[in-house]
Amino acid sequence: MDWRHSRLVFIVHLHSAEYSCPSKRNGRNRREVGPAQDDSFETDTSFSNGDQEGQLSRAVSGERLQPTDVDETGLPPSRGWRKAFSALRNPNYRRFYSGQMVSLIGTWTRSAALGWLAFQDSHSEFLLGTVFVLNSLPIFLFAIYAGSLADRVPKIRIFTLTSWLALLSSLTLATLLFHGTVSIGCLMVFAFLWGTMMAFEMPARQTLMVELAGKKELVNAIALNSAMVNAARVAGPAIGGLLLATVGAAWCFLLDALSYLAVLYAIHRIQLPPAHYARKQVAADWSHILGGFRHLRVNFAIARAVAMLFIMGLGGWAYRSQLAAFAITQLKLDAQGYGWLLALNGLGACAAALFVAAKGPRIVRVEALFTGAGIYAAFIILFGFMHSPVGAAFLLFFAGCGITLCFSVGNSIVQTQSPDHLRGRLMGIWALVFGAGMPIGSFWMGLVAQRVGSGHALQIGGIFCAAGALAVYFLGRGKS
């Protein structure tokens, strides 16, 4: 081997070791396993080859590498379009993401089948709204305690238990449907069970992301998670509509049950440091449970984000509870057309989430909450006038963009500004206002739709969101 080539290899190795080992730079000799350092980390050359070539050429020319040439994972920082997916370079988050994607496709397939089956059995907008009320009610009842639990016990274990229970619930309903029809009362019971599991799963899953992706990539991880949810909203309802039209609702619930196997396998593969599994030595009293509310009094940015979530849940997110009725009565769609309508809505939401992921911390501002609310309100009001499926799908695409921008930015504000020891309880409050807004919104929207039709009910919800966003904006001006 040529002596110049040997010297080049040594220079590149020396600089790579210096900047990829934070513990050595800081004079510490310790080994950690987590999102930043992981024995199972596999370098993804699609993200790093170009930057490694640049480092090589600079080493040849004698230019010293700068600390910004690599990030906390030891890889060159993502640039260009790759910044939208930078959190996926962490192996734990990558495993979580892939398992959740499969599981969420099943969840949205189940959601589409639940709404369709409930309306077909009852032919009542009110009972359809009641099913969604019962699906969201457990979040309102249990979310605060669930957030406290996430701050005290290993989040990964909560996530595992709720996944198993959801699998068994979907499998049970699928079995019942294969053996005959089920009543609207039975659907209400299962809707409540799924909501209970979601109440405990949501704070644990949301706060787990910082441990899987690392604090530096938290905003990107949250936005990618939102994109994943909404990509599943594209695939899930389309699959659900196809299954409803061809083989029946039972197969939708069976698919949901099987999809949980993917997330359970991903959980099995995730490697977390021993500190994650250590039980926190804190009392589970009301002082601990309500600690998140005390923090809202001193962090007005989080308080405004939570207020906007409540308003959008009350008048905005509840629009899902009436889409099945709107598709049947006003757009005259069948099951497959209804599935594609939901898929277009999810596609718009996915586009907004990827936009947030690409922008990263730059877009995590309170002003973006109001922009998202305004976009949603404008397009859902126009949507209520539609009788053409094509025009309705176009407007619902942009309504999905607006509401997802609001939710994704709000989630990022809460998580990035939360102290580590309070993150679970603050996400419990986040889940609470979401859980309170959804059932109340679904209930009143069902009552209004029963009297004036689902289209006008959706428009009233859009007007409420616009008025609520203006109120929060003007009341919060000048406060920090």
Query: Per residue in 318-333, pLDDT tens?
Result: 787 788 888 888 888 8
Q: What is the mean pLDDT of the chain?
A: 78
At 151, list the tokens: 């701050």
390-397: list long-range contacts, CB under 8 Å, 24+ apart: 392/331, 392/341, 393/340, 393/341, 393/344, 393/345, 394/344, 396/341, 396/344, 396/345, 396/348, 397/344, 397/345, 397/347, 397/348
Residues 408/352, Cβ–Cβ less than 8 Å: yes
User: What are phi and psi for residue 213, nearest 5 degrees?
Assistant: -105, -20
Quote the pLDDT of residue 280. 67
pLDDT band at 241 (very low <50, low <70, confident <90, very high): confident
**Tokens linked to 48:** 């790093």
Residue-level length of the chain: 480
Expressed in angstroms, the distance from the first to the final Cα of the chain is: 63
Half-sphere exposure of 275 (CA within 13 A, CB side): 4
| pTM across the whole model | 0.68
Dist. CA 451–CA 460, nearest whole Å: 13
Do 321 and 328 contact (CB within 8 A), yes or no? no
On whether the CB atoms of residues 292 and 431 are closer than 8 A, the answer is no
What local confidence, expressed as pLDDT, does residue 82 receive?
A: 62
pLDDT of residue 167: 95
Question: Which residues have C-beta within 8 Å of that of residue 135, sequence separation ≥ 6?
Answer: 114, 191, 192, 194, 195, 439
* Nearest Cα residue to 373 out of 392, 352, 388, 389: 352
Q: Of the ranges 72-76, 249-253, 346-350, which one carries the lowest mean pLDDT score?
A: 72-76
> For residue 475, what are its two tokens?
């009341």
Task: Evaluate if residue 230 carries a pLDDT over 70.
Answer: yes
pLDDT digits (tens, 9 = 90+) for 298-308: 888 888 888 89
The band of 478, judged by pLDDT with boundaries at 50, 70 and 90, is low
Q: Quick check: 370 and 402 in contact, CB under 8 A? A: no
**Reported confidence tier of residue 445, pLDDT bands at 50, 70, 90:** confident
Q: Is the dihedral of CA 143, 136, 315, 445 positive or negative?
A: negative
Is residue 427 within 8 A of residue 415, CB to CB? The reply is: yes
Instruction: Determine the pLDDT at residue 140.
Output: 81
For residue 372, give the nearest of 328, 321, 412, 327 by alpha carbon: 412
Q: What angle do CA 446, 452, 453 make, to 5 degrees?
A: 65
Domains and CATH numbers, the chain: 87-476 (1.20.1250.20)
CA-to-CA distance for 310 and 229, rounded, in angstroms? 20
Residues 425/289, Cβ–Cβ less than 8 Å: yes
Describe the crossing of helices 218-246 and 335-359 by its angle, rounded to 10 degrees: 170
pLDDT given for residue 319 in this prediction: 83
Are 219 and 317 spatial neighbours (Cβ–Cβ below 8 Å)? no
Percent of the chain with pLDDT over 90: 21
* 55 pLDDT more than 70: no
pLDDT of the residue at 464: 93
Q: Which residues, at least 6 apart from 45, have a Cβ–Cβ distance to it below 8 Å? A: none
Distant-in-sequence, close-in-space partners of 43: CB < 8 Å, separation ≥ 6: 75
Residues 58-103: tens digit of each pLDDT = 433 433 334 334 444 455 555 555 667 778 888 888 999 999 999 9
Note the pLDDT tens digit of each residue in 5-43.
444 443 434 344 443 444 443 433 333 344 443 333 333
Average pLDDT over residues 416-429: 84
As given in the structure block, the two tokens for residue 293 are: 């509310």
Distance of alpha carbon 111 from alpha carbon 69, whole angstroms = 45
Band (141; pLDDT cuts 50, 70, 90): confident
Phi, psi of 75 (to 5 degrees): -100, 155
For residue 160, what pLDDT band results from cuts at 50, 70 and 90?
A: very high
Residues 325/454, Cβ–Cβ less than 8 Å: yes
What is residue 282's predicted lDDT score, i.e. its pLDDT? Answer: 66
pLDDT for 52 equals 43
Could you report the per-residue pLDDT of 362-402, keeping only the tens digit for each?
Answer: 887 888 889 999 999 999 999 999 998 899 999 999 998 99
Alpha-carbon distance 356 to 349, whole Å?
A: 11
pLDDT grade, residue 57 (50/70/90)?
very low
Using pLDDT thresholds of 50, 70 and 90, give the confidence band for residue 347: confident
What CA–CA distance (Å, rounded) separates 67 from 254? Answer: 51
Q: How many Å apart are CA 311 and CA 306, to the nearest integer?
A: 9
Q: Write the single-letter amino acid at 470.
A: L
pLDDT score, position 132: 79
- Give the pLDDT confidence score for residue 240 in this predicted structure: 87
Over residues 273-315, the pLDDT tens digits come to 776 666 666 666 677 778 888 888 888 888 888 889 889 988 8
